[in-house]
Structures are given as C-alpha cells and as structure tokens.
Amino acid sequence: MFESCGIKPIPVAYPWPTNTYGETMKGYPKIGMFDILSRDELYSIHVATLELLEKVGVMVDNEKALTLFLEAGAEVDPKTKIVRIPQYLVEEAIKWAPRSILFAGRDRRLDLRLEGRRVYFGLGGGFINIIDLDGKRRPAGKGDIIDAVRLADALPNIDFVMPCFSYNTPHIGLHELDVMLRNTEKPLVCMDYGDVDVIRYIELASVVVGGETELRKRPILCMYVEPISPLTHGDTHTENLMTFARANLPIVPVPCPIMGATIPASLAGAIVQGSAETLSGNVIIQLTSKGAPVIFGASNAIMDMKAQVRAVAGPEYLINNLAIAQLGRYYGLPTWSSGGVSTSKVLDGQAYIEMTISLFVAAASGANLIHDVGLLERGITGCLDVITICDELASMFRRFLDGVNVTDETLALDLMAKVGPGGSYLVHEHTRDHVRREHWFPTLIDRHRWERWMAEGSKDLSQRVNEKTREILQTHTPRPLSKDIEERLTEIIREVERGRRV
Amino acid sequence: MTEKTLIEKLTNVVVEGDLSSAEAVAREAIKVELDPLMAIEEGLVPGISRVGKEFDRGDLYLTDLMLSAEVMKICMEVLLPEVARRGRKVKFRGRVILGTVAGDIHSIGKEIVGTMLMVHGFEVTDLGVDVPDETFINKVKELKPNILGLSALMTSTMNKQLDVIKALKKAGLRDRVKVMVGGAAVTEDWAREIGADAYGVDAVDAIKKAEEFV
C-alpha cells in the first residue's frame, strides 16, 4: 500500500498474542512501568476525596439528579443545589460500576476490552483549527473530520475514534457522529456538547447496529462528557449522563481542569478534586442505572502562569496521568488518559518531543483509553500527520510494554552452547523465530544507511509522515454502511435540523 | 513419490528455511535417482529466488533469507558431487571468493554478502576470517574466480585490503580478477584510493556491483 512512498510494510510487524480460542488479545501488556503512588498515598488521596464530597459537596444543576441524590441519602440544599454525598454512597457507587467494559467495534475483531492494564490509543476531539497537509493553519471543517476518521480507520494502532476536529454549526455532535459511523468500524467516542442531541446519538448508533438492544449488548458508542471544574455538574451535561446510563452505554465523565485556576495548583489537591468530580459523576450514573459502565480519569494540566495557557505534555501533566491511571486501578475502574499531544503551533521538534513523551507516559501508565492523539497548540489545533506518527509510536510502545519474556526457550542456553564463543547467531531457527516474535520494525522511522536514504530522496521524518498520510487518504476506503442505513442516518439528522424532533 | 512432488519438497525446505530436514530431502532425491541438476535448477533455485524476491520487497527478514540460504548450501553439498559424478556442471552466474583480511576476525557482514551472492546465482567460496594475503593469492590462482571480495571492519585492518591488491599485482593476477571491498569503515573514496574495482555499501549494493562484473 505504501510502496510508492518507499515505505515497505512487513506483514508480521509485531504480532499480537492470541488466546486459547485463537482470538487476538489486543493490548495486554506484560508490564506497566510506573506505579508512582505508595499504598499510603493512594489511601490518603481516597480519604481526602471522600471528605471533599461529603463536606464541601458538588453543585448539581439538574432537578432529576437532585431527586436521585435525596432519595439515596445525600444532603441536598435546594437553593444552592449543592449535594453533600455521604462517603458510603461514593464507595457503594464505585462497587456498582463494572470492572471490565466491552467497547465494541462494528467489526468484532476491533473490539476493545477495558480493564486492568490493557492499553488502547485513539483520537481526540474539539480541535477548531487544522494544520493541513500543506502545513497551513486554517479553521477546520467537516471534510477534515472525514479525513481524520478515515485515516484513523486505516492506521492499525489507532484503536478507537473520536471526531478530532469541530466547527461551528447547529447539531455539530450529530454531524460528527454521522461522519464517524460512515467512515470507520472502530469503537467510537462521541462528544457531549451540552445539548439535547445526545438522545439522537443513541438513535443513530442503534440504526447502524440494528436496534437499541443490540447496542446494549455490543456498545460501539461511548460518550465523553466533562463536569465543570470546580465541582459542578451542569444541567444538560447531567441529563446526558443519565441518558447514556439508561442505555447502558459507556461514559467518560472526566474533567479537564486547569491547575491554579479551576483546580488546586498542587498535584495532590488536583488529583483529589479531579477524582471527586469523576466519582460524583459516577454516583449520578449508578443512581440512574446500577451497573452502567463508567471510565475513570481526570485530565489535570497546569496553567502556565507566564504564557497564560493550559500546558499539556508538561511534567505535571505526565505525573498526573500516571497517578490517575494508578488511582483508577485502585478503584478497579477502567481508565481514561491523554497522550500524543503538544503545545507547539506546528509539527516541529517541540511537537515531536511533547507528543512522544506524553504518549509514552500514558502508555506506561497502563491507562485503558489514551485519547487526544493528533493534538497541537494545546487542543486548539489538530494535525493529521501527528496522528500518523503517533500510530508508529503506539506500535513501538506496545512492543516496549511487552517487556522480557523469560522461559527456558527464551533464555536460550542450548543455543548459546551450540553457537559457542566466536560463533554467529545469524543462521539459526531460534534467531528467525525470535526476530518475528520479539523484534519491532518501524514503518516511518528510517534505519537505513546513508546511501540508501539518499537514494530514496533523503527525506526527513516529517516528509515521510506527510507522504504516508496523503497515501492513506488517497487510497483507503473504509467499509461502507448499507445504502438503507446511510439514508436512515441522513433522514434522522434532517428531521432534527428541521426541528421536527427534539 | 513422483519427481514433481520431490522437486516441490526441495523448493519448500528452502522457502521454509527448514534446517532439520534439508539434508534428508536432498538424500532422498539421490536415492530415487532424481536428476541432481534438475533437483538444483528446478527445486532449490526457484525456492531461493522466491525468498530473495520477498526479502527485496521487505516482506521477509534477513534471518529468513540466511536460513533459506543455509538450507540451500546443505542440499548443494549433497547434490553437487552427484552432478560431478554424472559428468555435468551447474551453471553459475560467476565465481566469487570472499574473505575477511588478516588481523580482522569480523565475519557477519561478509557472511551476509556471501549469502546474498549465492541467492543471486553465484558460486561462493568463503575463506573465513583472518585470511593471510598468500591464501587469497593461492585461491585466486587455483579457482580463477571472477570476483575477489575483501572484508575489513576496522580502520586498523583496512590497509590489509591494499596489501592484498599489491600482492595480486606482484603475482601478475590483478587483471584476471575484479576486486570488491566492503566493511563498516570502508568508503567509496577508500576503494578508489587503493585501486579496488568496486565498493559495496551493503549486501544489496554488493550484488548490484557483482552482477556488473559477470
């Protein structure tokens, strides 16, 4: 497929292990490197979170949710709408949430199992500008969402899809989902825009999988919905949490706060408040529908008090992601994280540094869903080439996470005896087998000698990435939906736009 | 077993790089009196060229190619004496002598080049490592190769490549053989400076240059 740009794929690059049923076991790393909090520290964070929710509470701007809280024994102030949640209720709600979540692909081979340290990578959402393939920065449009989704559909290490870009149009959330459903079979994360269209998201996805019951069984749709930091659950956002909970679809009720502005500047405080916001969202979800699937997280980043912006990919951001993934595992909840992001304005050295370190740390944290691949300029701008390079990084980190496999066969004593001092390992079946099993091969990183690199046009990484992105967009056709389903999707959106549906 | 299935079996052991059954399959061919030349040309050669093509395309790794070549060598060792016994000859594209120069014991690079040459239809004699100058001279006299390949990994042993070329001149053999040099420290400029005929930057490049000499 990439022959024309000099990139030759090796069929078995770094094969996934298979289970006893011969199914591919995606994302089951042998190691997660970093557990940075001690048992005592985790406990202190947990206790502080419970105390925050019980003493200070959260503001819940939604009557139905307030009623649920009242019935469950929380202290509700009807005037301020502040809910003080008893500790037992927060802990009970954690227990009710499932430990393992099926996040389904339209094609079963693309299914993700969110649990433990299984690591998956995916796009972000809401970038309003694009650095296009010619390197120009301009406002993003619908065509860019289509391109991002098609690109993600083609890239083998991008496991789940988000709309990446956003633009100003009525019912934007519906249009984004429509594009995703038509252009990929991978599991989808849709965005809550605080409007009532969320109920239609479920309708669109049901049309595609053949009904709401089928969607419950194999949820291809998950929703990203942010509480408002500090400690506030908005009206429609809360309504949408409850809508998704009733449909038993996975929810990511994860805040995106700014340390020093909407959350404490100290990391421990930020982790406590971020966790409290997610866990109070979980209480709303569990009170609505016991056992509804929830993904834990908190995307804390500092406010750079010089540049006056939210600084993604800085060391505090990285530590936060490690701590939050560990905290999620402590609760036994599937986890959400971010990586492949940068504050750079263009795809330059700074972008490569920040995207690599943030994606690596997220992968090594063992978080289940790592989103935001493709993000530049701290989330204002997106870049398709960043998605392409992150696909390569994801594949490299997967190999990394596989660690050392220690068995008699891999210790290779017999082989070393056979080869002996001064011998060569090149011509041995053991070498061939373990090159296939253990060695990772890049598709974009170029390891050839100077002469071959010159002969192939002496292209730097950015050029090779750009060529691969273009090649995919020119050649890749996602498996289409049936004409009937496509027409039905168009019809639903048209009806909503004409105001015949709420 | 029919001739056809045995020939397919020979192709397969090469393609699979099946070291453990290589010799047995070659012996079977002799036992059933399969024409040994046919066994080589229609059995082994298509196997190795298929592997070579897949390696060139980037669909196979170097280790796969090396194993397949090793299987081919094992089978050839069994079959070649039988070819000779019948008074016939295998058609090679050319004859190559290879070795790592005196004072240098690095073998991997030369091994890879030797294998690639074999895959591309050359008859390769590998003299090993730390080869004295006079051994190169004697072997060139004896085997009359088209190409002599001199490998040197280190800057400290590169000069030996020049010594061998001088010795060839002294023995009056310089115009009878093309000299190719290679090794990590060797460059195009160095090759020109010492009067070698070609320099191979890697195994693939070495094959290209070698093919021009035959």
Distance CA A106, CA B37 (A): 55
Complex ipTM, two decimals? 0.81
Domains of chain A and any CATH numbers: 96-401 (3.20.20.480), 409-475 (no CATH)
Chain A residue nearest residue B59, CA to CA: A10
Distance CA A355, CA A374 (A): 8
Query: Which of B72, B71, B70, B90 shows the shortest CA–CA distance to B80?
Result: B90
Q: Does A426 touch chain B (CB under 8 A)?
A: yes
Quote the minimal CA–CA distance from A11 to chain B in Å.
Answer: 6
A224 neighbors A254 (Cβ within 8 angstroms): yes
The answer to whether residue A188 scores a pLDDT higher than 90 is yes
Which DSSP symbol is given to A327?
H
Name every chain A residue with its beta carbon within 8 A of the beta carbon of B17: 429, 432
Q: Which member of A424, A431, A432 has the closest CB to residue B111? A: A424
What would the mean pLDDT of A224-237 be, rounded to a whole number? 96
Given this model, what pLDDT does residue A11 score? Answer: 40
Q: Using the beta-carbon criterion (under 8 Å), do A451 and B201 form an inter-chain contact? A: yes
Distance CA A317, CA A324 (A): 10
Name every chain A residue with its beta carbon within 8 A of the beta carbon of B58: 8-10
Q: Using the beta-carbon criterion (under 8 Å), do B59 and A427 form an inter-chain contact? A: no
Q: Does B59 touch chain A (CB under 8 A)?
A: yes
Percent of chain A whose predicted confidence (pLDDT) is above 90: 86
A270 neighbors A320 (Cβ within 8 angstroms): yes
The answer to whether residue A25 scores a pLDDT higher than 60 is no
Given this model, what pLDDT does residue A5 score? Answer: 38
Q: Does A217 touch chain B (CB under 8 A)?
A: no
Q: Which member of A424, A432, A449 has the closest CB to residue B64? A: A432
What would the mean pLDDT of A399-405 be, rounded to a whole number? 87
Q: Which amino acid is at A343?
A: T
Distance CA A355, CA A79 (A): 45
Give the tens place of pLDDT for each residue, A447-488.
Answer: 998 888 999 999 999 999 999 999 999 999 999 999 999 999
Distance CA A244, CA A289 (A): 9
Name every chain A residue with its beta carbon within 8 A of the beta carbon of B129: none
Given this model, what pLDDT does residue B3 score? Answer: 84
Q: Does A454 touch chain B (CB under 8 A)?
A: no
Which DSSP symbol is given to A203?
H
Show the tokens assigned to B158. Answer: 């590169």
Residue A419: burial class (beta carbons within 10 Å; 0-12, 13-18, 19+): middle
The answer to whether residue B103 scores a pLDDT higher than 70 is yes
Residues sharing a CB contact under 8 Å with residue A353, sequence separation 6 or more, in sequence order? A342
Q: Using the beta-carbon criterion (under 8 Å), do A432 and B61 form an inter-chain contact? A: yes
Distance CA A207, CA A198 (A): 15
Given this model, what pLDDT does residue A33 score? Answer: 64
Average pLDDT value for chain A: 93
Q: Does B201 touch chain A (CB under 8 A)?
A: yes
Specify whether the backbone of A295 is left (phi greater than 0), alpha (psi in -120 to 50) or beta.
Answer: beta
Given this model, what pLDDT does residue A7 score? Answer: 37
Distance CA A488, CA A490 (A): 5
SS3 assignment, position B7: helix
Q: Does A411 touch chain B (CB under 8 A)?
A: no
What would the mean pLDDT of B147-159 be, rounded to a whole number? 93
The answer to whether residue B154 scores a pLDDT higher than 70 is yes
Query: Which of A163, A152, A164 shows the shortest CA–CA distance to A110?
Result: A152
Mutation for testing the B interface, residue in A4, A8, A426, A435 having most B CBs under 10 Å: A426
Query: Which of B123, B169, B172 shows the shortest CA–CA distance to B149?
Result: B123
Within the 434-453 window of chain A, which residues sit less than 8 Å (CB to CB) from chain B? 435-436, 449, 451-452
Given this model, what pLDDT does residue A4 score? Answer: 39
Q: Which member of B19, B67, B202 has the closest CB to residue A449? A: B202
Give the tens place of pLDDT for each residue, A157-167.
Answer: 999 999 999 99
Q: Which member of A10, A424, A451 has the closest CB to residue B107? A: A424
Q: Which member of B59, B111, B201 has the closest CB to residue A426? A: B111
Query: Which of A189, A181, A176 shows the shortest CA–CA distance to A122?
Result: A189
Q: Using the beta-carbon criterion (under 8 Å), do B105 and A422 form an inter-chain contact? A: yes
Q: Using the beta-carbon criterion (under 8 Å), do B61 and A436 form an inter-chain contact? A: yes
Query: Which of A464, A99, A489, A465 shows the shortest CA–CA distance to A295?
Result: A99
CA-to-CA dists, residue A117 to A32, A104, A335, A360, A367, angstroms: 7, 18, 9, 14, 6
Quote the minimal CA–CA distance from B64 to chain A in Å.
Answer: 6
Q: Which member of A422, A427, A451 has the closest CB to residue B67? A: A427
The answer to whether residue A24 scores a pLDDT higher than 80 is no
Give the tens place of pLDDT for each residue, B160-211.
Answer: 999 999 999 999 999 999 999 999 889 999 999 999 999 988 888 899 999 9
Residue A499: pLDDT band (50, 70, 90) is: confident
The answer to whether residue B145 scores a pLDDT higher than 90 is yes
The answer to whether residue A9 scores a pLDDT higher than 50 is no
Q: Using the beta-carbon criterion (under 8 Å), do B112 and A426 form an inter-chain contact? A: yes
Q: Does B13 touch chain A (CB under 8 A)?
A: no
Give the tens place of pLDDT for each residue, B49-90.
Answer: 999 999 988 889 999 999 999 999 999 999 999 999 999 988
Percent of chain B whose predicted confidence (pLDDT) is above 70: 100
Alpha helices in A247-266 (DSSP H): none
Q: Which member of A8, A428, A435 has the closest CB to residue B57? A: A8
Q: Using the beta-carbon criterion (under 8 Å), do A427 and B58 form an inter-chain contact? A: no
Mutation for testing the A interface, residue in B15, B61, B201 having most A CBs under 10 Å: B61
Quote the minimal CA–CA distance from B118 to chain A in Å.
Answer: 15
Alpha helices in A311-419 (DSSP H): 315-331, 349-365, 384-401, 408-411, 413-419
The answer to whether residue B137 scores a pLDDT higher than 80 is yes
Q: What is the DSSP string of B47-88?
A: HHHHHHHHHHHTSS-HHHHHHHHHHHHHHHHHHHHHHHHTT-
